[in-house]
Amino acid sequence: MWQSQAVISLFAFLFGLVIGSFLNVCIYRLPQHESVVTPRSRCPQCGTPIRARDNIPVVSYLMLGGRCRACRNRISLLYPAVELLTGVMFVACYHQFGVTLAGAKWALFCSLLLVLIFTDFHERILPNRVNYFGLAAGLAFSPFLPASDGFAQWILDGRMNLAAPGWAIALADAALGALVAGGLLWLFAEGYFRLRGREGMGLGDVKMMLMAGAFLGVRRAIAMLMLGSILGSVVGAIAVWGFGKGRDYELPFGSFLGIAGIFLIFLGSPLVHWYLTVSGLGH
């Protein structure tokens, strides 16, 4: 039994490396509004097309000593880091959810968040193509998986006395998650704008939460918002007071939301359970 688990884990890791290689392409090309399919990958510094054998995830980076074969300039360590992170996340998805539709859903969500974490970090951009694709995917997955949030069930059964089929409840959970998470952040951004007279965050963050809410449902999406805000506040305070960044320093809020989202997928259940118990919101 453990042998087959080890073999599947290895496959999940290798598959993650390959997907991670594609995520790198998305991270560097989507903010420039370039195609992620063509042309072939090129060295960002000398423009030489990268040969197939120099394009093997992680391995090529190590073989080339982290330098371009043509111009010998350094290749960013973030390329193999993204590949490795994706591999590790795919193994974690396999261990938590097995080879199931749920496993595929969360592996996709992790991948989308990873792209957003890095595009926001590099360019302060959360590409629409990622957010809209993610929103559609989150909604499309939901009817085929059992609802985990319970919010739609509570409204349909408890408040409206409607006995809806399981797939409809699951879809409603995803739609409510998107609307509540995106709506809350939009209200917050609007309030900040009215109060301070300048924008605290872009619509990209709102769209990102629409997407995340469709995957997570209402309660975990709110947890993601809170966790991301706490993380952003702590790092923001350190940046301003610790590293002397100006008060106008623009934090990559989407990056913090993304880290919070990945944390919630793998470690969220105990945290949400604890929060619901402490706050008295659980049932």
Q: Where on the chain is the footprint of Zn ion (CB under 5 A)? A: 43, 45-46, 68, 70-71
Rounded to whole angstroms, how far apart are CA atoms 283 and 102? 25
Q: Which is nearer to Zn ion, 50 or 156 (CB)?
A: 50
Q: Which is nearer to Zn ion, 49 or 98 (CB)?
A: 49
Task: Tell me the closest approach of the beta carbon of residue 57 to Zn ion, in angstroms.
Answer: 18
Q: Which is nearer to Zn ion, 42 or 129 (CB)?
A: 42
Task: Tell me the closest approach of the beta carbon of residue 46 to Zn ion, in angstroms.
Answer: 3
Coil vs helix vs strand at 42:
strand
CB-neighbour burial class of residue 147 (10 A; exposed 0-12, middle 13-18, buried 19+): buried
Task: Tell me the closest approach of the beta carbon of residue 51 to Zn ion, in angstroms.
Answer: 12
What is the token pair recorded at 117? 């974490």
Rounded to whole angstroms, how far apart are CA atoms 56 and 130? 24
Q: Which is nearer to Zn ion, 10 or 71 (CB)?
A: 71
Coil vs helix vs strand at 149:
coil
Rounded to whole angstroms, how far apart are CA atoms 50 and 212? 34
Rounded to whole angstroms, how far apart are CA atoms 91 and 7? 11
The region that residue 260 occupies, defined by phi over 0 for left and psi between -120 and 50 for alpha, beta otherwise, is: alpha
Task: Tell me the closest approach of the beta carbon of residue 47 to Zn ion, in angstroms.
Answer: 7
Task: Tell me the closest approach of the beta carbon of residue 41 to Zn ion, in angstroms.
Answer: 11
Q: Residue 111's closest CA among 38, 34, 17?
A: 17
Q: Which is nearer to Zn ion, 51 or 273 (CB)?
A: 51
Kindly report the CA angle at 85 between 273 and 149, in degrees rounded to 5? Answer: 25
Coil vs helix vs strand at 122:
helix
CB-neighbour burial class of residue 25 (10 A; exposed 0-12, middle 13-18, buried 19+): middle
Q: Which is nearer to Zn ion, 49 or 282 (CB)?
A: 49
Rounded to whole angstroms, how far apart are CA atoms 14 and 16? 5
| DSSP code for 158 | I
Task: Tell me the closest approach of the beta carbon of residue 53 to Zn ion, in angstroms.
Answer: 16
Q: Which is nearer to Zn ion, 68 or 92 (CB)?
A: 68
Task: Tell me the closest approach of the beta carbon of residue 21 to Zn ion, in angstroms.
Answer: 18
